[in-house]
Amino acid sequence: MSKNLQVLLASRPTGGVTESHFQLVERDIPEPQPGEILVRNHWLSLDPYMRGRMSASKSYAASVEIGDVMVGGTVGEVIESKHVRFKTGDFVAGGLGWQLYALSNGEGLAKVDPNLVPLSTYLGVVGMPGATAWTGLMEICQPQAGDTVVVSAASGAVGGVVGQLAKMQGCRAVGIAGGKAKCEYAVKELGYDACIDYKAGRLYEELKQACPGGIDCYFENVGGPTMDTVFRLLNPFSRVALCGLISDYNLEDPYGVKMIRSILVNRVKMQGFIVNDRMDIYQKAIRKMAGLVSSGQLKYRESVAEGLQNAPTAFIGLLAGRNFGKQLVKLV
């Protein structure tokens, strides 16, 4: 009989993450007890928030303990059920972690339909990243037709959705991404009006040119110097949805943001948010996304690592921006 594979947190990074912070182990496949199900995971999601869980310091949620299985979103198939709500062959999305097999009492698991949209999208555009995009844009930025919406990490799992939703709202969508290929994809595939390659070194000048009416909404995924540059172009009464600060996550000494004055002078509202705080909006957003994906109105792109053993490398790449679209690990 086959075995379970798991990736454990081996040690806590203080700066950059390396493979040595993870440990791949082989375990027996567990047996479900009454009230439990056994799930064979098909896809594992890799997301920037996981970097916070690797640290001991306070973040949204509790840290992963050393020696524990890394946390992570998954979709998989129920292969054995001793639970009234699930039967063998059901597909479930939830957070079963970096492993091939997992037991669950069903808490936090949602049944998903692999015939409605591709199974992997429940971890991306029809999952947490999609709901994150919706919540930050619609609830915090609240863009109106004609507004200019700037999105950092514009081609990523979250940013890619933000840009498309902004266009549906009648806004001008301007992306910021790393590299020419991502920017071309943002404009040609996702429909951004413009996308600036920050690696080309002329972010301020090019952003200013791409936003002739200034910036009304900023959906922030990266922080650091990008944040400072965008802040210089904020309009009075603009909104900043603070979704992520990926450029800081591996830094022991975070970047110091100098343009706080723009928040004051322009009477900006900047708000941090986490999608899980508003499960009512989450559910609504997921339904919308599923409809938009199945009708072909919402595009997405996936970077797929093959096999659990490649998850650490893919995660390290994600923190460095080497992914292109939603980063997934294929487990079957």
Residue 151 contacts residue 219 (beta carbons within 8 Å): yes
Among 10, 25, 116, 270, binds its own copies (CB under 8 A): 270
- Which part of the chain contacts its own copies (CB under 8 A), choosing from 20-28, 107-115, 207-215, 270-278? 270-278
Q: How far is the CB of 237 from its own copies (least distance, A)?
A: 8
15 interacts with its own copies by CB under 8 A? no
Q: Output the DSSP codes for 38-81.
A: EEEEEEEE--TTHHHHHSSS--SSPPPPTTSBPP--EEEEEEEE
To its own copies, the closest distance from the beta carbon of 248 in angstroms equals 6
> Which amino acid is it at 69?
V
How does strand 172-177 pair with strand 148-152?
parallel
273 forms part of the interface with its own copies (CB under 8 A): yes
Using the rule CB under 8 A, is 279 a contact of its own copies? no
233 near its own copies, judged by CB under 8 A: no
Minimum CB–partner distance for residue 41 and its own copies (Å): 28
Strand pairing class (215-220; 234-242):
parallel
Euclidean distance between CA atoms 303 and 79, whole angstroms: 27
- Is there binding between residue 156 and its own copies (CB under 8 A)? no
Binding of residue 223 to its own copies (CB under 8 A): yes
Report 32-61 residues binding its own copies (CB under 8 A).
52, 58-60
How many C-beta neighbours within 10 Å does residue 197 have? 20
Task: Identify which of residues 60 and 188 has a Cβ nearer to its own copies in the complex.
Answer: 60
Q: What residues pair up with 8 in beta bridges, in sequence order?
A: 23, 69
Residues found near its own copies in the complex (CB under 8 A): 52, 58-60, 223, 227, 242-245, 248, 253-261, 263-274, 277
